[in-house]
Chains A and B, each alone.
Chain A
Amino acid sequence: MSVQVITGNHAAGYALSVAGEANRTARGVACGIYPITPQTEIVEYVAKFPFSKGRVVPVESEHSAMAVSMGASMSGARSFTASSSNGLAYMAENIMVAGYYRLPIVMVAVNRTLGPPWNIWADQGDTLMLRDFAWLQFYCENNQEVLDTTLLAFKLAEDRRILLPALTCMDAFIVSHTQTETELPEQADVDRFLPDLDLPHRLHYDEARTLGGLAWPHEGLSMRLEIEEAMKRVPEVYQECRENFTDVFGRDPGDMIQPFETDDAELVLIASGTIATTVREVVRRRRDAGEKVGLVKLKMFRPFPGAALRDACKSATRVAVLDRNYAAGAGGIFCQDIRGAFQGHRDDVMIQNYLTGLCGGDVTPDVIDDIFADLSSRTAAGDPMWAGIDSGEEALQ
């Protein structure tokens, strides 16, 4: 284990590479790569990694990058890729296919605003566009979490009880390009953590099996139900993987949701990514002033941890959901699922949606204070509020 000052992209590139290398005693590793700002350094890191049994294929598009990774994965190799923003949109068809093929591919996504207008800064709209595909989704707030979650994602995705691809996400530039101290695990420990991949439905060159042909409605439905069953097993398997990670690396990679000061909190803010870091500091300050406020960091968005969220908010009367994303005409995307998780279980909780930090806008402690002020003064939830910008009557001042 060494500690280095590296960027989030470096952390992600390292995690993908050592995970791939760990499969050298099995069928190896191969992946397709394609650059896009701000994730380019990830695929550059992978391209120069000296794999003992691997091939990195620099292709002509994101769509083909995922296609190469799928071909490798179907052949029983470990596989991964990375992308961002419009690149994910271009790749989307094959992202969906990888999920329905039950291929344990891990992708690191740097959350960047979808264009137009041209914008390279943080916004989660790109990966949340993929929310309904059969992928696990994790949102990370710092470099260490990116590295740890990426390694953990391989173990989780490749577990026979799961066999679904996983997406590790980080905010553009705020994480991807910011250098912080990060613990880099040794290859030998990664080898111990990630056993040889043995994909049960992989192709064998001498076995006549057709992957992905026609299936009648009842067969297709049963395959969808199997995905649903696998999704339901994720929370339990996640905890196993997390414990194993802690044993091997001596560090807790963190839970699926991470409550902070919520035990007696009346006001709870739910946030993800780097916004959670800022909210945590504001909560700490307000706690010092005697306010009963708390934070729930939503790390895992798919499968959606509804029960755990309700449990973390058990003392809350008011909940604010901060969304760095926007479903045009329907408000924040996290908020929609959170409302769904509370309805019928905790109808006493007022849930208000705040859209903030979109298109890379800064979410400062002042913005969080404005949100707390609005939330505590409310008598009822209303339309989603645009926070942190000056844009007409619906915006917070």
Chain B
Amino acid sequence: MTATAAIHTSEKCLLRPGNTNCGGCGMSVGLTMLGRALSEADDSCTLVIPACCGIVTAGAFPTTSYAVPTIATTFASSPAVASGVASIRDLNDEPGQVICWAGDGGTYDIGLATLSAAAERNENIIYMCYDNEIYGNTGGQRSSATPAGARTTTTPWGKIEGKKDIMSIMVAHRIPYAATLSLAHPDDFAQKMSTALSIKGMRFLLLHSPCPTGWKSEPEDSIALVRLAVGSGLFPVYEVFDGATYRVSVKPDGTDPAEYFHRQRRFKDEEIDLDATRRACSDRMQRLQSLAEQFPPDK
């Protein structure tokens, strides 16, 4: 079955039509692409979702926007609940993935210890973080994924601290697979999902997820924005196997980061140190590129 056919078949449509998510929501597009990848691989999943927009997406009892079994967990618990679900799945030889679907608050902040422990145990689950760089569900407060300069309701004059490097933290656990995903690069997204679905053990996927409500951007700009983030090197797109071997899957194309900041009203142009940002992006991409050259995946 082709991806296009799958998404138009309601039984295979992970996120059903009629949900109340915001226009331009990256998480919603991410769910649709996840559903496509599962259909392509003839796979299925149970979603384990902590407090975040992802569970509001389900809608009100007794209806649900999710076409798969779904569990709402407490904010810090999704990888632990998923560990229990996956344990019983494996003990009963049942098919399907157990996928945590969590925002950056549940991943970078309150759930980090739980996530780290599940990674250290190499639980047989997929953990997907849709990173909109903000506590979106509560109306836009800072998280440790919020980049420097961004205005949120709890950093009304712009965040001073930079964004936490969650990928390096997860890679340090030497889990079988860690990768970043961009909605602007759907083929790469699909390729990585296919890789993730074929691996056992802990898999971590980080999705840069535009949030027009929190980013103070236009809904129709969402995909353009994450494309700018990849092109400028602000959001590196790469994958790491076993914490050891690296591949940069989409290289920056020399885009200037200025446009990315300019199109979001959470930033003020005059407050962004573009030279420092360009240097930081370039340094990080060079480091990743050099790791990829020194330690290429053998697969």
Could you list which residues of chain A lie within 8 angstroms of chain B, going by C-beta atoms?
27-28, 30-32, 53-55, 57, 59-61, 63-65, 67-77, 79, 93-94, 97, 203-216, 219
Contacts and interface: CB of A to CB of B under 8 A. Distances in A.
Contacts of A77: 84, 87-88, 91
A213 B44 contact: no
B85 interface: yes
Given A60-B113, A64-B114, A208-B64, A79 B84 contact: yes
B69 A209 contact: yes
Contacts of B253: none
A28 B88 contact: yes
A32 B73 CA distance: 15
Interface in B62-109: 62, 64, 66-74, 76-77, 80-92, 94-96
Given A64-B77, A67-B80, A94-B77, A27 B64 contact: no
B67 A208 contact: yes
Nearest to A204: B69
B173 to A, nearest CB: 13
B41 to A, nearest CB: 15
10 contacts: A32-B84, A68-B81, A71-B81, A71-B82, A203-B46, A208-B70, A210-B72, A213-B55, A213-B61, A214-B58
B117 A59 contact: yes
B216 interface: no
A213 B62 CA distance: 9
A205 B77 contact: no
Contacts of A219: 60-62
Nearest to B92: A27
Given A213-B55, A215-B61, A63 B77 contact: yes
Given A67-B80, A206-B96, A213-B59, 8 more contacts: A28-B91, A30-B88, A30-B91, A67-B77, A72-B88, A77-B87, A94-B77, A209-B69
B117 A64 contact: yes
- Shortest 5 CB-CB contacts between residues of A and residues of B: A71-B84, A212-B72, A67-B80, A60-B117, A75-B88
Nearest to B90: A55
Contact of B83 (A63, A68, A212, A215): A68
B251 interface: no
Contacts of B71: 71, 74, 203, 210-212
B55 to A, nearest CB: 6
Interface of B: 44, 46, 48, 55-56, 58-62, 64, 66-74, 76-77, 80-92, 94-96, 113-114, 116-117, 121
A206 B82 CA distance: 16
Contacts of B66: 208, 210
B64 A213 contact: yes
A97 to B, nearest CB: 6
Contacts of B59: 213-214
Among A28, A31, A67, A211, residue most surrounded by chain B Cβ atoms (within 10 Å) = A67
B80 A59 contact: yes
A65 B81 CA distance: 9
A371 to B, nearest CB: 42
Contacts of A79: 84
Contacts of A208: 64, 66-70
Contact of A213 (B48, B70, B74, B92): B70
A220 to B, nearest CB: 8
A218 to B, nearest CB: 10
Among A54, A77, A207, residue most surrounded by chain B Cβ atoms (within 10 Å) = A77
Among B64, B87, B116, residue most surrounded by chain A Cβ atoms (within 10 Å) = B87
A146 to B, nearest CB: 25
Contacts of A74: 71, 81, 84-85
Given A67-B77, A203-B46, A213 B88 contact: no
Contacts of B94: 205
A57 B81 contact: no
Contacts of B82: 71
B48 A71 contact: yes
Contact of B60 (A28, A53, A60, A214): A214
B116 A60 contact: yes
Nearest to A58: B121
Nearest to A28: B91
B21 to A, nearest CB: 14
Contacts of A75: 84-85, 87-89
